[in-house]
Amino acid sequence: MDTLIETPALDSPYQILNHHGQLVGEPPNLTPEKLLSLHDAMWRTRMLSDKIVAMQRQGRAATFGPLVGQEAAAVGVGAPLKPQDWMAGSYREIGAYMAKGVRVQDFLDVYRGFPPPKGSNGNNCLPIQIVIGTQVLHAVGLAMAAKIKGDDAIAVGICGDGATSEGDVNEALNFAGVFKAPAIIVFTNNGWAISMPRSQQTSAPTLAARGIGFGVPSKLVDGNDILAVYKTTSEAAERARAGDGPTLIELLTYRMGAHTTADDPTRYRPKEELEYWKERDPISRFRKYLFDRNILDEKGEKLMTEAIETEINEAVEYVEKQPPLSPEAIFDITFEQPTPRLQRQRVVMRRELAEIAAKNEGKA
């Protein structure tokens, strides 16, 4: 067929810092302090991920999805945002959330199996989403509200490569385009959706190409290059804030670990991939960049990671010392006011709690 529209060739991923730590593009204009804070945030992401995995192994945390390997994609998206901006991501986005300002201890509670603690303010980050893809619509709605109200806020919706197959994510792109929402939609393409490789998730060569059919400008970016991610996000945020509408960003990265603590990737994933991506590690690359420019040295980095370790350990200690939330809480967070029936059900639960307490006392 003569005029058949074939998939256009897409530019290769936008890169500023290649995996040898060499500049291949124009870096964003950032102070050394800012650069260090990005490195710090990437380390914090990796170390918290590792910590929760360790806690899960010890029965101190519930199922967790590690994000080692995706630190640049996470931090580069979260760091350029302003406090009034909104973020909606999945279980894998603790790095972006922390870069946006969420405290370590607030995640710990969730991953220990409690609702977010009462005191946490969320920093305009929606609770981590479990139902794949749904949160991208929420992000677009948050952005639409900002526009309706005339707020100087934008919203970022983040989802995985697998999520792009869900109807909701495509509807989100369409709504963002139609309403010129001040939104950024980020596809964190980490190569896998549990056992499904990206290549089988869709037959399009890139996920960024999805933007074309919805009239949303899009960009394919090396997601392990913190400078490229940071710069692209900053520019998309500027566009959004200027009233120029949404941007779709595909970040090419890799999930170095298992899908979650319940998954065994050796069942489906070739080892060679890991080798390939290890060489493209986001932290080592940026580390070399900072070392080469004398912005950081061994000693500085050691201090940095020690401080993070202390921070995480203190947060763990803090949350584990808190009295556990009573299961009765469920009656107070279903509706603003519990219904009469919920009040009666609460009495039943109290009776059960009392019997358990009495039994335990009997034992003691």
Ligand X SMILES: Cc1ncc(C[n+]2csc(CCOP(=O)(O)OP(=O)(O)O)c2C)c(N)n1
Q: Which residues are catalytic?
A: 255, 259, 268
Q: Are 154 and 143 in contact (CB under 8 A)?
A: yes
Q: Are 253 and 69 in contact (CB under 8 A)?
A: yes
Q: Does 151 bind its own copies (CB under 8 A)?
A: no
User: Any idea which residue has 């980020």 for tokens?
Assistant: 186
At closest approach, how far in Å is the CB of 12 from its own copies? Answer: 9
Backbone φ, ψ for residue 125 (5° rounding)? -105, 125
Give the C-alpha separation, 135 to 240, whole Å: 19
Site for its own copies, residues 236 to 265, rule: CB under 8 A: 236, 239, 247
Among 36, 194, 274, 295, binds other proteins (CB under 8 A): 194
Q: Are 168 and 133 in contact (CB under 8 A)?
A: yes
Contacting residues for 22 by C-beta, under 8 A, at least 6 apart: none
Name which of Mg ion, its own copies, other proteins, none residue 190 binds, using a CB cut-off of 5 to 8 Å depending on partner kind.
Answer: Mg ion
Q: Does 167 bind its own copies (CB under 8 A)?
A: yes
- Segment contacting Mg ion (CB under 5 A): 152-160, 278-286, 326-334, 336-344? 152-160
Per DSSP, 157 falls in state: E
Name which of other proteins, ligand X, Mg ion, none residue 360 binds, using a CB cut-off of 5 to 8 Å depending on partner kind.
Answer: none
- Please, which residues bridge with residue 219 across strands? 249
CA-wise closest residue to 164 among 184, 136, 128: 136
Site for other proteins, residues 268 to 287, rule: CB under 8 A: 268
Return the HEC string of 29-55.
CCCHHHHHHHHHHHHHHHHHHHHHHHH
Residue nearest to ligand X (CB): 160
Backbone φ, ψ for residue 215 (5° rounding)? 65, 30
Site for ligand X, residues 140 to 159, rule: CB under 6 A: 159
Site for ligand X, residues 231 to 260, rule: CB under 6 A: 255, 259
Q: Does 73 bind other proteins (CB under 8 A)?
A: no
Q: Does 192 bind ligand X (CB under 6 A)?
A: yes
Q: Does 161 bind ligand X (CB under 6 A)?
A: yes
What kind and span of H or E run contains 220? Answer: strand 218-222
CA torsion angle for 310, 311, 312, 316 (degrees, to 10)? 100
Give the C-alpha separation, 80 to 229, whole Å: 10
Among 123, 129, 164, 190, binds Mg ion (CB under 5 A): 190
At closest approach, how far in Å is the CB of 232 from other proteins? Answer: 23
- Segment contacting its own copies (CB under 8 A): 79-87, 175-183, 306-314, 348-356? 175-183
Radius of gyration of the chain (CA): 22
At closest approach, how far in Å is the CB of 174 from ligand X? Answer: 13
Residue nearest to Mg ion (CB): 160
CB nearer its own copies, residue 108 or residue 236? 236
Which positions touch its own copies (CB under 8 A)?
A: 1-8, 10-11, 14, 165-168, 170-171, 174, 177-178, 180, 200-205, 207-220, 232, 235-236, 239, 247
Which positions touch Mg ion (CB under 5 A)?
A: 160-161, 190, 193
Which positions touch ligand X (CB under 6 A)?
A: 65, 92, 130-132, 159-163, 190, 192-194, 255, 259
